């Protein structure tokens, strides 16, 4: 079948070679103007391409002498316009000078011309997000363009100069690159990694394997530098939340970096809306969290002693107080960490929730049991991920957020002497947690039923340690009164004397009472409550004798 592109190019080349006139206006070459327009090229460059396409070995070498000879008639006999057109084509990554002294097409152009498909010409000169990224991939990879290129940084650290950054400087990602990453140490690496992550996302809906990307780099100092910046998330795109990573450095050297929705929004506003939508669909990375407005209002009642301990914690939630404290302490750290520990059902978890509600702080709640994973390395990865997600949540919600390690006994207990791989894992989990606390910026709460055997290393790291014991009889009576509206104080006192319940148990009784009432119970209130309490006790004793609860 005839190839329409090739036919056109041959026609043009044929005319150029056979026209005898010394000077000939280039506009008069038949078909040249239209074809050049389709290639989005100037007529002179187009003529060079036509000559290469139609290359006939009998005409001699396809070198600059050949081109100037045949094209001089269009350029008032000057050679400079011809050589600069050639240079531009080389720079655009379309042609190159083969060692045998003949200009040849680069693969991309070759492919397009061979296809005979005029449509493909759209990608020829990398203008705009997609062509730019495609070109980026082709340039930073080897000559062979595979269907699914393995991404590797250049072995030499010289940034390729045919990335068309200048031609695309209007694009948001290029603007961001130019203003935030260009003066980064080893900026050639920053450049490659940055566009690689975006290209993989846009063109392949994929993440970037960090270590695979770095494979080509031999220099240890560069690797150390990168590890410092990237693993610690000091790199601007990670800090801004445009990129995020999964995995950890310490464990199995498997880290992937990917572009987030936030990144797509900020760095690719020019992207075709349909395509952007598809990208956003593929990563809805909104960190799951508890919204403060969804938290139910619960009135908590504490003993005087507990109130005194909790008061400063509450004050710490005010931003200006935190700032003042940080100034006073002369620290650069803005983290606040609080542990609430003690008897079950005393309001430890609920206190955190109510603070979040009052101060409009989203909560990222970590279930410590879920972090622990029997696979070596997974638990550690999980804990890194938790801290990263917390940081991401702060960025996404643009609010101060609470990181809540609920029921964190396993995490906070004393580190053990190592007897088994399980012990080892638990210790390394604790060590990572300790390390993360050291540099933590934000508000961290941990709750635990542990009383005695908190690891001393943790004790030091929590700014506030609040021990909550079971409330006194007086306080318990107040809780009875508050929960059962209209219950006289003397009846509440009878209940608190008779039943040594935790606040959570009292709140349970209240729920059952309401259910019974809906079901039509006609019992007198105090008698009704007492009977519910006795039942609760029996159940409680059964479960106590059935299995040890471990505290
Ligand atoms: N001090 C309190 N005053 C009033 N109600 C309370 C109090 N403490 C707990 N409650 C009630 O009990 C419920 C459960 O309490 P919460 O989950 O906070 O207990 P906890 O201390 O975290 O217990 P655990 O150690 O078992 O996790 C609360 O939602 C609330 O309704
Ligand atoms: Mg709790």
From first to last of the 551 residues of the chain, give the pLDDT tens digit: 689 999 999 999 999 999 988 899 999 999 999 999 888 888 999 999 999 998 877 777 889 899 999 999 999 889 999 999 998 888 777 899 888 888 999 888 898 999 999 888 877 777 889 888 888 887 776 434 343 344 555 544 455 566 788 889 899 999 999 988 887 667 777 788 899 899 988 887 777 877 777 766 667 777 777 777 777 778 889 888 899 877 655 544 567 888 888 899 899 999 888 888 777 765 545 667 889 999 999 999 999 999 999 999 999 999 888 888 777 876 656 688 999 999 999 999 999 999 999 999 999 998 887 777 666 666 777 787 788 788 878 877 889 999 999 988 888 877 777 677 666 667 778 888 888 888 788 999 999 988 777 788 888 888 889 999 999 999 999 999 999 998 999 999 999 999 999 999 999 999 999 999 888 888 899 999 999 999 887 766 655 544 434 34
**pLDDT score recorded for residue 155:** 45
- Report the C-alpha gap between 152 and 213 in whole angstroms: 4
pLDDT of residue 425: 65
- Which ligand minimizes its atom distance to the CA of 351? 1
Answer for the pair 466, 340: CB distance below 8 angstroms, yes or no: yes
The two tokens of residue 112 are 């397009």
Cα–Cα distance measured from residue 120 to residue 124, given in angstroms and rounded to the nearest whole number: 7
The pTM score is 0.59
User: How many Cα atoms occupy the beta-carbon half-sphere of 265 within 13 Å?
Assistant: 12
Which pLDDT belongs to residue 532?
92
Structure tokens belonging to residue 81: 């316009």
- CB-ligand 1 contact for 502 (6 Å cutoff): no
Contact 309, 461 (CB under 8 A): no
DSSP H helix total and E strand total for the chain: 26, 10
Cα 349 to ligand 1 centroid, rounded to whole Å: 7
Helix ranges, 19-140 (H)? 32-39, 43-53, 64-71, 80-91, 107-115, 129-140
Q: Spell out the residues 6+ positions from residue 224 whose beta carbon is closer than 8 angstroms to its own.
A: none
pLDDT of residue 348: 96
With H, G, I as helix, E, B as strand and everything else as coil, classify residue 549. coil
Cβ atoms of 359 and 397 within 8 Å: the answer is no
Burial (CB count <10 Å: 0-12, 13-18, 19+), residue 116: middle
Identify the pLDDT of residue 146: 41
Instruction: Provide the pairing of β-strand 363-367 with 402-406.
Output: parallel
Cβ atoms of 380 and 432 within 8 Å: the answer is yes
How far, in Å, is the centroid of ligand 2 from the Cα of 447? 6
Ligand 1 and 345: CB distance under 6 A: yes
- Establish whether residue 349 lines the binding site of ligand 1, counting it when its CB lies within 6 angstroms of any ligand atom: yes
In this prediction, residue 549 carries a pLDDT of 42
3-state secondary structure (DSSP) of residue 265: helix
Instruction: State whether the beta carbon of 342 lies less than 6 angstroms from ligand 1.
Output: no
Token code pair at residue 537: 């006790």
Q: Look at ligand 1, atom 2, and give the residue with the nearest C-alpha.
A: 300
- Please report the pLDDT score of residue 431 as a whole number: 84
Q: How far is CA 429 from CA 50, 74, 379, 409, in A?
A: 65, 74, 7, 13
Beta carbons within 10 angstroms of residue 210's beta carbon? 22
Nearest ligand 1 atom to the CA of 340 is 21
pLDDT for residue 142? 45
Q: Are 454 and 414 in contact (CB under 8 A)?
A: yes
Report whether residue 447 contacts ligand 1, using a CB cutoff of 6 Å.
Answer: yes
């Amino acid at each position: 079948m005839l190839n329409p592109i090739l036919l056109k190019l041959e026609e043009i080349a044929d005319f150029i070679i056979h026209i005898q006139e010394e000077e000939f206006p280039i506009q008069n070459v038949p078909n040249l103007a239209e074809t050049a327009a389709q290639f989005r090229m100037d007529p002179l460059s187009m003529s060079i391409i036509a000559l290469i396409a139609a290359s006939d070995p009998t005409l001699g070498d396809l070198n600059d002498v050949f081109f100037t000879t045949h094209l001089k008639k269009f350029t008032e006999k000057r050679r400079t316009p011809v050589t600069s057109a050639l240079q531009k084509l080389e720079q655009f990554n379309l042609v190159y000078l083969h060692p045998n002294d003949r200009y040849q097409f680069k693969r991309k152009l070759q492919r397009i011309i061979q296809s005979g498909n005029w449509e493909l010409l759209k990608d020829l000169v990398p203008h705009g997000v997609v062509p730019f990224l495609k070109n980026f991939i082709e340039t930073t990879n080897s000559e062979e363009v595979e269907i699914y290129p393995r991404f590797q940084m250049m072995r030499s650290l010289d940034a390729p100069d045919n990335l068309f950054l200048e031609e695309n400087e209007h694009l948001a990602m290029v603007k961001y690159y130019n203003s935030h990453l260009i003066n980064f140490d080893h900026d050639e690496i920053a450049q490659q990694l940055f566009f690689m992550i975006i290209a993989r996302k846009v063109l392949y809906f994929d993440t970037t394997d960090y270590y695979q990307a770095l494979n080509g780099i031999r220099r240890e100092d560069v690797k150390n530098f990168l590890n410092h910046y990237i693993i610690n998330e000091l790199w601007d795109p990670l800090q801004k939340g445009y990129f995020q990573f999964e995995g950890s450095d310490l464990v199995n050297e498997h880290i992937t970096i990917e572009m987030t929705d936030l990144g797509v929004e900020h760095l690719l506003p020019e992207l075709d809306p349909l395509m952007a939508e598809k990208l956003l669909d593929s990563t809805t990375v909104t960190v799951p969290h508890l919204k403060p407005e969804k938290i139910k209002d619960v009135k908590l009642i504490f003993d005087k002693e507990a109130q005194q301990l909790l008061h400063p914690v509450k004050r710490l939630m005010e931003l200006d107080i935190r700032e003042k404290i940080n100034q006073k302490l002369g620290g650069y750290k803005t983290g606040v960490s609080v542990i609430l520990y003690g008897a079950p059902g005393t309001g430890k978890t609920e206190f955190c929730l109510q603070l979040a509600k009052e101060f409009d702080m989203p909560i990222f709640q970590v279930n410590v049991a879920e972090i622990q994973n029997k696979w070596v390395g997974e638990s550690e990865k999980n804990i890194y991920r938790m801290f990263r997600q917390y940081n991401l949540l702060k960025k996404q919600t643009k609010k101060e957020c609470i990181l809540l390690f609920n029921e964190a006994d396993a995490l906070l207990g004393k580190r053990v002497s190592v007897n088994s791989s399980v012990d080892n894992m638990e210790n390394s989990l604790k060590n990572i947690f300790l390390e993360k606390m050291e540099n933590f910026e934000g508000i961290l709460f941990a709750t635990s039923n542990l009383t005695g055997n908190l690891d001393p290393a943790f004790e030091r790291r929590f700014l506030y340690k609040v021990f909550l014991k079971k409330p006194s009889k007086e306080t318990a009576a107040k809780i009875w009164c508050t929960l059962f509206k209209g219950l006289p104080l003397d009846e509440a006192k009878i209940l608190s004397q008779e039943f040594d319940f935790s606040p959570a148990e009292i709140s349970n009784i209240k729920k059952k009472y309401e259910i019974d009432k809906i079901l039509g119970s006609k019992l007198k209130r105090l008698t009704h409550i007492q009977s519910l309490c006795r039942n609760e006790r029996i159940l409680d004793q059964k479960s106590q004798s059935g299995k040890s609860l471990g505290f």
